[in-house]
Chains A and B, each alone.
Chain A
């Protein structure tokens, strides 16, 4: 469904990712793990045109989406949850969800989707009129994901969703991600918490210094090379 070919990208002329190839299939969870600074987040930013792309191509459902403006990607069926609980703090929970469906013209569908989100994330109905900045960290992250689901995406990109969450909130989060995936939404998740991510993923890519180092299924955690990548031993 998503196909990244020979991608080179970075910031201000400095190349961070070198020759990256990646595939994601429909209804699949793909984890991207790797040490700090290996370029995991840059990979997602490349898809959403939030960094510079020097060469290579990104296609989604056979359409070339390389360098498409950020605000147009949602029309293609891709939603992105940036790192760091990015909610609109000065908007209410309900307004966050409404803005999440900005491109949706069908008012009935919008209402139905909000109802759907309220069922999936009960706290959001309870706190629908509260400003988002008053929510707990875990709830803000859930709201950011809920907002991304408002447009019925086929592919959801999650950038370090567990960052800074309590163990309890983290557990809930990974459960939620699995639940979302069971409804047929493909997910690419970038995670520091490698173990958890690999556990819920169908396939995993391991990045090291901006290059693809390993690729595999759940057994990848047992691969000796993982240790070298994370701890630098040879």
Chain B
């Protein structure tokens, strides 16, 4: 029954990585630069939820809504105050990448300053007895995490496929110049992408915050997993990011069947390197349509 338990653990990890990778990949595919500060959005939103719920004592549902809104606002703000200003000065995507690292470090330091280095727990859900089936154990919270992740990914898919803004996002991702020609302001679409991508980060933050302790570097750790997932699945492809993230979650958890659990993070890097060496475009990598 170890296999089933590992499968469940992989599914839970994958569900969280998928949310991280999806928001990140969405921003990358449309804006064409690596937004590492996405990790800061996750960490800061989780701490914001902690602040609202555990310190201020707000109603949990209300705190969750505010935390998601905060994540959107934070992402939008990063784009507006930093990236947009750099783009106006014709900055390359490498400059934007460096700026995103700066933002990540800035916000992690801010968390340290405001909340301290010790771990925090949101503690909304009291430790519940896991449900057992076929010898494997899963808690109700974990079921909720997986379900929420799937519902959200489904909604995002419908949004990108069916709505006008979703189609415009895909058009800008495909060919920014032609999108402008048909009347789509790419800067406005970037705003939307940051709002939506960061909201997904906020939701990921809440789910992680319910499962694990909060610590100032949590954003970087999650971002590494999300980024690896996005590369494995094919950078720039949102379905690819989801696929890669789940693959990573399963690989990590099945890996510790053979290896000491301390190697869990190493597995992510080994897979990442293997893909970069042998299939750099990833599983569903978008090839240029020549």
| B-contacting residues, A130-176, CB 8 Å | 133, 147-148, 150-151
Q: Do residues A71 and B184 form an inter-chain contact, with CB atoms below 8 A?
A: yes
A86 within 8 A of partner (CB):
yes
Contact B183 A48 (CB under 8 A): no
User: Which B residue's beta carbon lies closest to that of A148?
Assistant: B182
Which stretch (A19-27, A34-42, A92-100, A218-226) binds chain B? A92-100
Interface check B181, CB cutoff 8 A: yes
**Bound-state Cα–Cα, A99 to B186, Å:** 13
Q: Quick one: CB contact mask for B152-181 with A, threshold 8 Å, 1 for yes?
A: 000000000000100110110111011111
9 more contacts with CB within 8 A, not counting A99-B168, A99-B182, A151-B182, are A71-B180, A74-B183, A82-B178, A86-B178, A98-B164, A102-B164, A102-B183, A133-B289, A147-B182
Residues of chain A within 8 A of B175, CB atoms compared: 86, 88-89
A82 adjacent to B177 (CB under 8 Å): yes
Contact of B174 among A90, A100, A150 (CB under 8 A): A90
Q: Are B167 and A91 in contact (CB under 8 A)?
A: yes
A88 to B265, CA, bound (A): 38
Closest to A110 in B: B164
Residue ID in chain B nearest A134 by CB atoms:
B289
A214 within 8 A of B: no
Residues A102 and B182 in contact, CB atoms below 8 Å apart: yes
Q: How far is the CB of A43 from chain B (nearest CB, A)?
A: 16
Do the beta carbons of B181 and A103 come within 8 Å of each other?
Answer: no
A88→B185 contact, CB < 8 A: no
By beta carbon, the residue of chain B nearest A74 is B183
Instruction: Identify which of B171, B177, B183, B286 contacts A103 (C-beta below 8 A).
Output: B183
**Which residues of chain B come closer than 8 Å to A50, judged between CB atoms?**
177
Residues of A within 8 A of B177 (CB): 50, 70, 82, 86
Contacts of A74 in B (CB 8 A): 181-183
CB atoms of B179 and A99 under 8 A apart: yes
CA distance A71 to B193 in the complex (A): 18
Contacts of A72 in B (CB 8 A): 183
A75 at interface (Cβ–Cβ under 8 A)?
A: yes
Residues of A within 8 A of B (CB): 48, 50, 69-75, 79-80, 82, 86-91, 95, 98-100, 102-103, 133, 147-148, 150-151
Say yes or no: A98-B178 contact (C-beta < 8 A), given A74-B183, A90-B286.
no
Q: Looking at A70, A86, A133, which has the most chain B CB atoms within 10 Å of its CB?
A: A70
30 contacting pairs across A/B (C-beta < 8 A): A48-B181, A50-B177, A69-B185, A70-B180, A71-B186, A72-B183, A74-B183, A79-B182, A86-B178, A88-B170, A88-B171, A88-B178, A88-B179, A89-B175, A89-B289, A90-B170, A90-B289, A91-B167, A91-B170, A91-B171, A91-B174, A99-B179, A99-B182, A99-B184, A102-B164, A102-B168, A102-B171, A102-B183, A147-B182, A148-B182
Contact indicator B174/A89 (Cβ below 8 Å):
yes
Task: Give Cα distance in the complex from A126 to B174, angstroms.
Answer: 23
Main secondary structure of the interface of B (DSSP, over half): helix
B181 close to A102 (CB less than 8 A): no
How far is A151 from B182 in the complex, measured between Cα atoms in Å?
Answer: 9
Contacts of B182 in A (CB 8 A): 74, 79, 99-100, 102, 147-148, 150-151
Which of chain B's residues has its CB closest to A98's CB? B167
Q: A79 vs B183: C-alpha distance in the bound complex, in angstroms?
A: 9
Q: Smallest CB-CB separation from B166: which chain A residue?
A: A95
Tell me the bound Cα distance from A150 to B184 in angstroms: 14
In whole angstroms, how far apart are the Cα atoms of A216 and B180 in the complex?
33
Shortest Cβ gap from A12 to chain B (Å): 11
Quick one: closest A residue to B180, CB to CB?
A: A70
Shortest beta-carbon contacts, A-B, top 4: A133-B289, A89-B289, A74-B183, A103-B183
Q: Which of B174, B180, B183 makes the CB contact (< 8 A) with A88?
A: B174
A95 and B181 contact, CB distance less than 8 A: no
| Complex contacts, A88 vs chain B, CB 8 Å | 170-171, 174-175, 178-179
- Among B168, B178, B179, B186, chain A packs the most CB atoms within 10 A around the CB of B178
- The residues of A that contact B173 with a CB separation of less than 8 Å are 90
Query: CA of A79 to CA of B171 in the docked complex: distance in angstroms?
Result: 17
In the bound assembly, the distance between CA atoms of A73 and B184 in angstroms comes to 11
Q: How far is the CB of B70 from chain A (nearest CB, A)?
A: 30
**Nearest Cβ on chain B to A116's Cβ, whole angstroms:** 17
- Verify A70–B181 contact, CB threshold 8 A: yes
In chain B, residues 102-120, which have Cβ atoms closer than 8 Å to a Cβ of chain A? Answer: none
Q: Please, how many angstroms separate the alpha-carbon atoms of A48 and B177 in the complex?
A: 11
CA distance A70 to B183 in the complex (A): 7
